[in-house]
Amino acid sequence: MFGEVGFWDSILFILLGVFTALWGVRLARLTASLIFGFWLGYVFYAFTTPTLKASLTPLVLFFLGFIIGAMIGFAAFKLVVSLLTGFMISYLLVATGYIVNGETALVVLSLAFAAIIYAVMEKILALGFATMGAGLVYIGLRGASIPPNISLIVAVLILILGLMSQLRR
């Protein structure tokens, strides 16, 4: 399985793994912020271009929308992820028949799960990104022909360092 990974690929896996383990939550928040910023900037640009063709105003509005969108995306990251995850869990419970089908049950469960997830969001994200990073480091070390026990020890250390780094806030 790991024999297909070349030496330089292994180095890349290790570097990406360490980066993900140590800074994954911040990277996710930054990515969400930039995506929302580009989206809002594009909306500003797309709706103003037909009426303001001859001026630089649509471009200025794009940058204004980008800045506003990036700030909203950064601030609302935790709330949006919590609401979406709460809805998905509730929908799965209703769709599988564990909860009586109804819009009220879906809304109440979605909000309840979202509140719980919002409270533990940072810890869940930190654990997820630290685990992914440690896994990438393990794959990279195994691809570089490092023995499994040493690779596992290094990966566990990266997992612990990643958790400590991301939960330090």
Per-residue model confidence as pLDDT tens digits over 109-118: 889 999 999 8
Give the residue among 157, 122, 168 at the shortest CA–CA distance from 14. Answer: 157
**pLDDT higher than 60, residue 5:** yes
Whether 158 is in a domain gets the answer yes
Question: Is 110 contained in some domain?
Answer: yes
Residue 6, domain member (yes or no): no
What pLDDT is recorded for position 137?
Answer: 94
Q: What pLDDT does residue 97 have?
A: 77
Q: Band the pLDDT of 87: cuts 50, 70, 90.
A: confident
Any domain includes 16 = no
Does 8 map to a domain? no
Provide the pLDDT for residue 3.
52
What's the pLDDT at 62? 87
| Residue 72 forms part of a structural domain | yes
Average pLDDT over residues 81-105: 82
Q: Are 13 and 136 in contact (CB under 8 A)?
A: yes
pTM listed for this prediction: 0.70
User: Are 137 and 13 in contact, with CB atoms under 8 Å apart?
Assistant: yes
pLDDT in tens, 25-54: 888 888 888 888 888 888 888 877 777 666
The mean pLDDT of the chain is 85
Q: Structural domain of residue 49, as residue ranges?
A: 25-167
Q: 64 Cβ partners below 8 Å, 6+ apart?
A: 41, 44
Q: Name the token pair of 37.
A: 């910023």
Residues 162, 131: Cα–Cα separation, whole Å? 8
Q: Please give the tally of structural domains in the chain.
A: 1
Question: What is the tens place of the pLDDT at every residue in 132-145?
Answer: 999 999 999 988 88
Q: Judge whether 130 and 16 are in contact, CB under 8 Å.
A: no
Answer whether residue 111 is part of any domain: yes
For residue 11, being part of any structural domain is answered with no
C-beta of residue 139 within 8 angstroms of C-beta of residue 5: yes
